[in-house]
């Protein structure tokens, strides 16, 4: 495995753990049993990538070519479940729950956005910026959207400040950094842009206009 593949793989693992944990958290909060929690964790971690691969014509989707992603998602979900099972006071306060969710979801969003853009580039669509930004964003937001729709909670993408917006900006940063500095820079700067935007938005309570 070359330098770029190693960095991509490490980032994907971090994103998988973060998104699986966010799915497992939502499932636990909804009082699902251990199996429901695991299913939700896995769907959150691999769902966005599956939609992306079907869109790009990668058949069967990449998640089936390397079972390690789903395996890590299962393991993460089970660990989160048992952690909360034996130490449920950990997430008693809603403040803690919201904070952990924010971190997990932001990290997953940032990493999966840039992984999505780079998958589109590798499939030969380097010149179609619109497609690249779309597959980046759908990879980033798809898993969380499926998670929220299945758990029947209000979708994060519509209720949290600067969510899809951060993913789109990160995808654009990723595309242009790729053109100027190559793959590794695009992965790092793109995901950093997403995570930074979400952190600043949450910290300073940035709001986009909405109807009263």
To the nearest whole angstrom, how small is the minimum distance from the Cβ of residue 7 to its own copies? 25
Whole-number Å distance between alpha carbons of 156 and 160: 5
**197 in helix, strand or coil?**
helix
Residues of this chain that bind its own copies (CB under 8 A) = 27-28, 30-36, 39-40, 50, 54-57, 59-61, 64, 67, 70, 81, 84-85, 88, 125, 128, 130-131, 134, 145, 149-152, 154-155, 157-159, 161-165, 207-212
Task: Give 96-99 contacts, CB < 8 A, sequence gap 24+.
Answer: 97/25, 97/29
To the nearest whole angstrom, how small is the minimum distance from the Cβ of residue 24 to its own copies? 11
What token pair was written down for 14?
């971090």
To the nearest whole angstrom, how small is the minimum distance from the Cβ of residue 199 to its own copies? 17
Helix axes 164-181, 94-122, angle to 10 degrees: 40
To the nearest whole angstrom, how small is the minimum distance from the Cβ of residue 209 to its own copies? 5
Q: Are 54 and 123 in contact (CB under 8 A)?
A: no
Please list, in sequence order, all residues whose beta carbon lies within 8 angstroms of the beta carbon of residue 147, skipping any fewer than 6 positions away.
Answer: 22, 23, 26, 40, 43, 44, 47
Whole-number Å distance between alpha carbons of 21 and 100: 9
To the nearest whole angstrom, how small is the minimum distance from the Cβ of residue 93 to its own copies? 15
In terms of CB distance, is 85 or 181 closer to its own copies? 85
């Amino acid at each position: 495995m070359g330098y770029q593949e190693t960095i991509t793989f490490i980032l994907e693992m971090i994103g998988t753990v973060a998104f699986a944990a966010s799915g497992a958290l939502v499932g636990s909060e909804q009082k699902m049993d251990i199996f429901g929690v695991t299913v939700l964790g896995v769907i959150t971690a691999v769902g966005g990538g599956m939609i992306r691969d079907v869109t790009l014509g990668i058949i069967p989707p990449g998640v089936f070519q390397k079972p390690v992603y789903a395996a890590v998602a299962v393991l993460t979900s089970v660990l989160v479940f048992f952690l909360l099972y034996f130490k449920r006071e950990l997430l008693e306060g809603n403040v803690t729950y919201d904070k952990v969710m924010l971190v997990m979801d932001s990290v997953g969003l940032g990493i999966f956005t840039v992984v999505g853009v780079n998958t589109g580039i590798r499939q030969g669509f380097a010149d179609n910026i619109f497609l690249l930004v779309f597959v980046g964003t759908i990879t980033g937001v798809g898993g969380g959207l499926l998670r929220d729709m299945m758990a029947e909670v209000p979708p994060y993408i519509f209720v949290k400040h600067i969510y899809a917006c951060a993913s789109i900006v990160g995808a654009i940063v990723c595309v242009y950094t790729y053109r100027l500095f190559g793959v590794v820079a695009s992965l790092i700067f793109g995901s950093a842009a997403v995570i930074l935007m979400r952190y600043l938005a949450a910290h300073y309570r940035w709001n986009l206009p909405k109807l009263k």
